[in-house]
Structure 1
C-alpha cells in the first residue's frame, strides 16, 4: 500500500511539473515521464525489496531533476506556478506560520467575499525562559486549492472594504498587520462601492495606518495587489510575480487581439519576460525589500521547512519596522540585520512618537521609488534653484501659516466669541444702530449686489457666441453636417460642424450630448488668459524596461503632442483664484500613467502644499497605468496617493474633474481618493473597460455601465457638469469649498 501511495505522489509531482512547463518540450521532463512509466509497468512483477529500491531511486531522480528544472524556469513558468491549485494558499500559511488564529468577517462560502480572508492570529516567541504571545492581524486574498467559490483570489469591492475595516481594528488595538497577496487582480465590478473607489479608499487609509504593515507577495496583479499592498516592508516569494497586468493581458494589447481571438503562447512568454515581473526583477528595481526563498519549483502545502523560513522572515520584518521607529534600538537592530538573530524580543506596540515616525518613514520610502524610471532634463543650476525655491516657500509657509496664522486664529476666535456675547447681551441696541448706519450714503450697497460665496454659477449672457471662446477647436473647420448619436432617440437635427465645435463648444444644442474636445479647449477657455505657467516640463517619460518597440511609440507621442510625458503641470488662475493643476492628456498614450507622470503629479501636489494653494486634477482621459513600464508604473498608485494624503492632512483642497474615458489604476488610487470629484457630462469612469470586464468575468455589461451618472448614483463623483459651465462651476467650487483666500483649514 505504501508503494502505491508513493507512486501516486510521484504521478502528482510529474503532473505538477508538466503543468508548469506547459506544452514546451523538455528532455528532463521526458526522462521523468519515461522512468516513472517504466516502473509502473514493471511494478506488479517486482518483489517488495526491489520496489522500495527503485522507488528510492525515482525519488532521488525527481529531486535532482527538479533542481535542474528550477534553473530553466522562465517568467511565464513562474506565473503558472503561482496559479497552480497545488500552490500554497493563505489557509496553509495560517495553519503553519502562526501559532493560533481565529478567522473573522465570515468564513468560506458564507463570507461577505470568500476571496478575502481576515484572521486575528498570534505568534508565540520564547526568549530565554519567557514566552511572549504577540498578536497580529492577518489579511490576504485566498485562492484555495481549486475552490471555485474563492473566485481565484479576485476580490470584489466589499472584500477590500472588509480588509480595510479590520486594518482599522488593528490600528485601534495597536497590533501589526500582515498582508498576503494572492490575486491576479480585483474583480472589475462597479456595483457600490465600486472596484476603483474601494481600492482608492484602501490606499488612502493604508498610507496613514499607525501600526506596522508587512506584505508578502505571491501573485501580485495590479490594483488588486495594491489594495492591501501599501506596506512598510514588502517581501516576495522567490517564485512569485508582481506586475501591472497579466502576461496574457499584455499580449492581447500588444497583439491587438479582438474579442473571440486568442494570443499565441510565444507572445505571452515574450510579454512575461518584457514586463520584468519576477522577484529578482522587482528587488533590483527597488519595489520589494527581500526575497523569501522557496523550494525547487515553488512552495506546496507539504513544504514545512519553507513555512518555518516564512515565519522567521515575517517576524524579522516586523521587528525591523518597529525598531526603525523606536528610540532605543541600536544593538537589537544590529543583531537582526547583521547577525540575523531571530531570538531578539521586540515589543510590537508603538507609542505616539513612534507612530508619527512610522508614517513619515512610509511616505519617504514610497516617495523615493521609481526615480530611475524617468528622465529629468533640467540643467543642474535649475535643479538647485528649484530646491532653493522649495526651501524658501517652506520657510515662508512655516512663519506665515504655522506661526503667525496660529496666533491670528486664536485672536480671531477670541474676537468672535466676544462679539457673540455682545450680540446676545446688546442685540436690540446693535440692530437699531446697524439700521441707522445702513441708511447713511457711504454704507449703502448697489442694488442687486450679492455675496460671491452664495451666488450660483449661471450660463452668462452671450456665452453662445464663438467670440466668448478663447480657443476654437480645429474640428470647427470642417465644412460638413454632423449627426448626434442620440438623433433617433431624441430627434436631434444635424448640426453644422463650425457651429457645433465653435459656437456650441462641442455640445448638441438639442439633447446636450457632448462630443469629444481637445484638452487645449479647457486650457484656454477655463483658465484666465495668460495665467498658465507650466513647471517641470523637462521631466520625460522613458522606456525603463527596454520594452520592445515602445521607444518608437513614445517618440511618436512626444512629437504629436509637443509634451515629454502624458501629464502637464502648471499654475493658473480661474477668475483671479490661483490654483495648481495636473492635467492627464488622453492624446499622449491614452493618458496612461508611468513614472514620469507620477513624479510630475507628486511634485505638483507638493507645490500646492508649500504654496498653500488648491490643487486641481483635470483628467482629459486616462487608460490607466502604462503597462510597458511594468511595476515602475503600478507603484505610482501608492506613491501619488500618499502625496495626496499628506496634502489633504495639511488642509489642502483637492478637486478632480473627469472628462472622456477615465479607467483603472489612476481612478483606483490618487484620483479616486479625492473627496471632491466631478465629471464633464460626456465622461466614462470605472475600474476596467468593457473588453477587460468581458475577458475576466465573461459578463456582457450594458452600454451605459461606465457613464458619469452611474458613477454619480453610487457616490463616486459628486456632480456632473456641462462643458460650457466648467469655468463657472470650478470657480464656484473653489469659492464655496475654500473661500477666496482660505484654502487650508486654519481653524
Structure 2
C-alpha cells in the first residue's frame, strides 16, 4: 500500500511538472516520463525488494531533475506555478503557520465574498519558560479549498470592504495585520461600492493604519494586490509574481488584439519577461523587502519545511517593524543582536518582542511608511532640470516651510493675543492718521466746492459712455483667447443622441466655439482639448507650471516604448502625461495636477506619479487647495511594470498627508477615466465631480467581457451611473466649470483659509 502511494505521488509530480512547462519540449521532462513508464512496465516482473530499490532510485531522479528544472523556469512558468491548483494557499498557511485561528465574516460559500478570508489568529512563543500568545489579524485572498465558488481569488468590492473593516478592528485592538496576496486582480464590477472606489478607500485607510502591516505576495495582480498590499514590510514567495497586469493582458495590448483574439504563446512569454514581474525583479527594483525561497518548482501543501520558514520570517518581520519605531533603543539593539545570533541556530520565537505600540511609536510608524513608499521608483523617471532650478526649488521649499510655520502654526497658537494687540495698535494708529490727514482733507473739500462738482475718474467715465467689447480678440479677463482647432473646420456635426433626442446638426465653428463643445439640444458634451480648460477655467496669465522637466522614461527598457514616448512628446509638446501648475480662479490661488489624455491615453507611470506627489506636497506647504483635473486616463502604464502600479499607494499616501493636514482636495473627471488612478489617488477624494458625458470606472467594457464573460449595458460607466452609485458627488456642465469651481472653493474651503 505504501508503494502504491509513492507511485501515485510520482505520477502527480510528473503531471505537475508537465502542467508548469506546458507544451514545451524538454529533455528532462521526457526523461522522467520515460523512466516512470519503464518502471511501471517492469513493476510486476521484479521482486518486492528490487521494486522498492528501483522506486527509491526513481524518486531520487525526480528530486535531482526537479532541481535542474528549477533553474530553467521562465517568468511565465512561474505564473503557471502560482495559478496551479496544487499551489499553497491561504488556508494552508492558517493551518500550518499560526497556532490557532477563528475565521471571521463568513465561512466558505456562506460568505459575503468567499474570495477574501479574514481570521483572528495568534502565534505562541515560549521564552524563558513562559508562553506568550500574540494575536494578529490575518487577511488575504483564497483561491483553493472550494475554488469553484471563490472566483479564482478575484475579489469583489464588498470583499475588499470586509478586509478594510477588519483592518480597522485590528487597529482598534492594537494588534499587527498580516496580509497574504493571492489574486490575479480585483473583480471588475461597478456595483456599489464599486471596484475602483473600494480599492481607493482601502489604500487611503491603510496608509494611516497605526499598527504594523506585513504582506506576503504569491500572486499580485495590479489593483487587487494593492487593495491589501500597502505594508511596512513586504515579502514575496520566490515563485510568485507581482505585476501591473497579467502577461496575457499585456500581450493583448501589445498585439492590439480585438474581439476575443488570442495572443500567441511567444508574445505572452515575451511580455511576461519584459514587464519584470518575478520576485527577483521586484527585489532588485526595491518594491519588496525580501524573497522567501520555496522548494523546487514551488511550494505545495505538503511542504512543511516551507511553512516553518514562513512562520519564522513573518515573526521576524513583525518584530523588525515594531522595534524600528520603539523608543527603547538599547532594548532594540539587544534584540536585533539576538536575531543575528538566531542564524547560528536560535529561533525567532526564542526572542519576545511586544507588538503593542505607544502613541508616539504609532506616529513614527505612519511616518516611516510614508517615507518608505516615497523613496520607491525614484530612478524610473527622467529629470533634466538645470542645477540652478533645483537649487531654487530647494530654497523655495525651505522658504515656504518657514513661512507656513510662522503663519499657520506659530501665529495660530498665539492668534488671540496677537489679534488683541494689533487691534489696540490699529486703533491708536487710526487716530494719529486722522489727525495728520485733517488739514489736507479740509483743503481738498474747499477746492471741490469751488469747482462745483466732483471730478469723475477717466476709467469710470469710459465704462459709462463706451460700448462693450465684442471683438474675438478682446480680453475678457478670463483668458478666452484659445480657439479649438475643431472650430476652424467648415463642417456639420451630428450629435450621437440625435436619433433619440431629435438633435439638429450643428456647424462646427458654433459647436466648438461659442457652445463650448456642448450640444444645444440635449446637452451632450463632445470632447474638447485640455487647452480649452486652461484658457477658460483659470484667470488669465495666472498659470505657472512647475516640475516641467520631469519626463516619462522607459525604466524596464520595454521594446518600442521609447519611440512611443517620443511620439507622444512631439504630439503634445509635453514631457509626460501629467502637467502641474499653480493658477488662480477668481483670484483664489490653487495647485492643479492635470492628467492629459493626449499623452499615451493619460496613463500614469513613474514620472506622472512623481509630479502628482510633488504637486500635493506643494499644495500642503503653501496651504493652497489642490485640484486634480482628469482630462482622461486609461490607467497605469503597463510597459513600466510595477514602477507604474506602485504609484497607486505612493500618490494616495501623499494625498492623505495633504488632506490630514487640512487641505481641500477636489477631483474633476472628463472624457474617459479608468483603472489604477481612479482606484487610488483620484478615487480617495471626498469631493469628486464629473463633466457631463464622461465615463468613470475600474475597467473598460472589453476587459469586463474578457474577465467575467458579462455583457455590460452601454451606459454602465456613464457619469450619471457613477453619481447614483455614490462614486462622484456631482455632474457639471463644461461651460459652468469655472463658476462651479469658484463656488466649491468658497463653500468647502473658505475665501482665505483652506486649512482647518
TM-score for both structures, normalised by structure 1: 0.92
Query: Following the alignment from structure 1 to structure 2, what is the Cα–Cα distance between the partners of residues 695 and 179?
Result: 28
Do structure 1's residue 97 and structure 2's residue 100 form an aligned pair?
Answer: no
| Corresponding residue number in structure 2 for 1:180 | 180
C-alpha deviation, 1:47, in angstroms = 2.1
| Corresponding residue number in structure 2 for 1:402 | 409
Query: Following the alignment from structure 2 to structure 1, what is the Cα–Cα distance between the partners of residues 133 and 640?
Result: 43
| Corresponding residue number in structure 1 for 2:258 | 258
Residues 609 and 152 of structure 1, relative CA distance in 2, 3 Å threshold: same
Residues 570 and 45 of structure 1, relative CA distance in 2, 3 Å threshold: same
| Corresponding residue number in structure 2 for 1:631 | 642
| Corresponding residue number in structure 2 for 1:17 | 17
Query: Following the alignment from structure 1 to structure 2, what is the Cα–Cα distance between the partners of residues 25 and 463?
Result: 77
* Aligned partner of 2:376 among 352, 355, 369: 369
Deviating more after overlay: 126-135 vs 213-222? 126-135
* Aligned partner of 1:379 among 382, 386, 389: 386
Residues 730 and 214 of structure 1, relative CA distance in 2, 3 Å threshold: same
| Corresponding residue number in structure 2 for 1:419 | none
* Aligned partner of 1:336 among 336, 339, 362: 339
Pairs aligned (count): 700
Do structure 1's residue 559 and structure 2's residue 570 form an aligned pair?
Answer: yes
| Corresponding residue number in structure 2 for 1:730 | 741
Query: Following the alignment from structure 2 to structure 1, what is the Cα–Cα distance between the partners of residues 526 and 602?
Result: 18
| Corresponding residue number in structure 2 for 1:542 | 553
Deviating more after overlay: 121-130 vs 464-473? 464-473
Do structure 1's residue 389 and structure 2's residue 399 form an aligned pair?
Answer: no
C-alpha deviation, 1:644, in angstroms = 0.4
C-alpha deviation, 1:359, in angstroms = 0.4
Query: Following the alignment from structure 2 to structure 1, what is the Cα–Cα distance between the partners of residues 78 and 338?
Result: 34
Say if 2:142 and 2:182, in contact at 8 Å, map to a contact too. yes
Do structure 1's residue 687 and structure 2's residue 698 form an aligned pair?
Answer: yes
Say if 1:237 and 1:294, in contact at 8 Å, map to a contact too. yes
Say if 1:87 and 1:145, in contact at 8 Å, map to a contact too. no
Residues 310 and 565 of structure 1, relative CA distance in 2, 3 Å threshold: same
Say if 2:104 and 2:118, in contact at 8 Å, map to a contact too. yes
Residues 297 and 384 of structure 1, relative CA distance in 2, 3 Å threshold: same
- 1:413-424 equivalent positions in 2, closer than 5 A: none
C-alpha deviation, 1:261, in angstroms = 1.0
Query: Following the alignment from structure 1 to structure 2, what is the Cα–Cα distance between the partners of residues 717 and 65?
Result: 56
Say if 2:260 and 2:706, in contact at 8 Å, map to a contact too. no
| Corresponding residue number in structure 1 for 2:449 | none
| Corresponding residue number in structure 1 for 2:215 | 215
Residues 465 and 507 of structure 1, relative CA distance in 2, 3 Å threshold: farther
* Aligned partner of 1:351 among 355, 358, 361: 358
C-alpha deviation, 1:463, in angstroms = 12
| Corresponding residue number in structure 1 for 2:40 | 40
- 1:246-285 equivalent positions in 2, closer than 5 A: 246-285=246-285
C-alpha deviation, 1:471, in angstroms = 1.7
- 1:480-629 equivalent positions in 2, closer than 5 A: 480-629=491-640
SS at match of 1:667: coil
SS at match of 1:315: helix
Residues 198 and 463 of structure 1, relative CA distance in 2, 3 Å threshold: farther
**Cα deviation code 1:81-140 (max 9, x no counterpart):** 000000000000000000000000101000110000000000001112111111000000
Deviating more after overlay: 348-357 vs 385-394? 385-394
**Cα deviation code 1:311-347 (max 9, x no counterpart):** 0000000000000000121221233357545222110
Residues 146 and 546 of structure 1, relative CA distance in 2, 3 Å threshold: farther
SS at match of 1:371: coil
SS at match of 1:372: coil
Deviating more after overlay: 125-134 vs 44-53? 44-53
SS at match of 1:297: coil
C-alpha deviation, 1:40, in angstroms = 1.5
C-alpha deviation, 1:42, in angstroms = 1.9
| Corresponding residue number in structure 2 for 1:421 | none
Query: Following the alignment from structure 2 to structure 1, what is the Cα–Cα distance between the partners of residues 509 and 615?
Result: 36
SS at match of 1:205: helix
SS at match of 2:228: coil
| Corresponding residue number in structure 1 for 2:224 | 224
Say if 1:466 and 1:502, in contact at 8 Å, map to a contact too. no
Do structure 1's residue 109 and structure 2's residue 109 form an aligned pair?
Answer: yes
C-alpha deviation, 1:539, in angstroms = 0.4
Query: Following the alignment from structure 2 to structure 1, what is the Cα–Cα distance between the partners of residues 416 and 381?
Result: 43
**Cα deviation code 1:408-437 (max 9, x no counterpart):** 268889x9xxxxxxxxxxxxxxxxxxxxxx
- 1:50-69 equivalent positions in 2, closer than 5 A: 50-69=50-69
Do structure 1's residue 296 and structure 2's residue 296 form an aligned pair?
Answer: yes
Query: Following the alignment from structure 1 to structure 2, what is the Cα–Cα distance between the partners of residues 88 and 232?
Result: 24
SS at match of 1:218: strand
Deviating more after overlay: 94-103 vs 37-46? 37-46
Say if 1:464 and 1:504, in contact at 8 Å, map to a contact too. no
Say if 1:85 and 1:146, in contact at 8 Å, map to a contact too. no
Residues 71 and 410 of structure 1, relative CA distance in 2, 3 Å threshold: farther
SS at match of 2:611: helix
Say if 1:465 and 1:503, in contact at 8 Å, map to a contact too. no
SS at match of 2:594: strand
Query: Following the alignment from structure 1 to structure 2, what is the Cα–Cα distance between the partners of residues 178 and 708?
Result: 37
Deviating more after overlay: 339-348 vs 594-603? 339-348
Query: Following the alignment from structure 2 to structure 1, what is the Cα–Cα distance between the partners of residues 237 and 192?
Result: 33
**Cα deviation code 1:35-55 (max 9, x no counterpart):** 111111222333211211111
Query: Following the alignment from structure 1 to structure 2, what is the Cα–Cα distance between the partners of residues 7 and 464?
Result: 91
Say if 1:221 and 1:243, in contact at 8 Å, map to a contact too. yes
Runs of 4+ with >6 A deviation: 409-413, 461-468
Say if 2:108 and 2:146, in contact at 8 Å, map to a contact too. no
| Corresponding residue number in structure 2 for 1:454 | none
| Corresponding residue number in structure 2 for 1:144 | 144
**Cα deviation code 1:428-447 (max 9, x no counterpart):** xxxxxxxxxxxxxxxxxxxx
- Give me the CA root mean square deviation: 1.8
**Where does the alignment leave 5 or more consecutive residues of structure 1 unmatched?**
416-460
**Cα deviation code 1:454-474 (max 9, x no counterpart):** xxxxxxx99999976432210
**Where does the alignment leave 5 or more consecutive residues of structure 2 unmatched?**
423-467
- 1:232-247 equivalent positions in 2, closer than 5 A: 232-247=232-247
Query: Following the alignment from structure 1 to structure 2, what is the Cα–Cα distance between the partners of residues 507 and 531?
Result: 26
Larger radius of gyration: 2
Say if 2:487 and 2:513, in contact at 8 Å, map to a contact too. yes
Query: Following the alignment from structure 1 to structure 2, what is the Cα–Cα distance between the partners of residues 275 and 290?
Result: 20
Deviating more after overlay: 19-28 vs 379-388? 379-388
| Corresponding residue number in structure 2 for 1:458 | none
Say if 1:545 and 1:630, in contact at 8 Å, map to a contact too. yes
Residues 410 and 213 of structure 1, relative CA distance in 2, 3 Å threshold: farther
Residues 186 and 557 of structure 1, relative CA distance in 2, 3 Å threshold: same
C-alpha deviation, 1:570, in angstroms = 0.2
Residues 157 and 412 of structure 1, relative CA distance in 2, 3 Å threshold: farther
Query: Following the alignment from structure 1 to structure 2, what is the Cα–Cα distance between the partners of residues 73 and 167?
Result: 36
| Corresponding residue number in structure 2 for 1:199 | 199
| Corresponding residue number in structure 2 for 1:28 | 28
Query: Following the alignment from structure 1 to structure 2, what is the Cα–Cα distance between the partners of residues 549 and 471?
Result: 34
- 1:686-705 equivalent positions in 2, closer than 5 A: 686-705=697-716
C-alpha deviation, 1:740, in angstroms = 1.0
TM-score for both structures, normalised by structure 2: 0.91
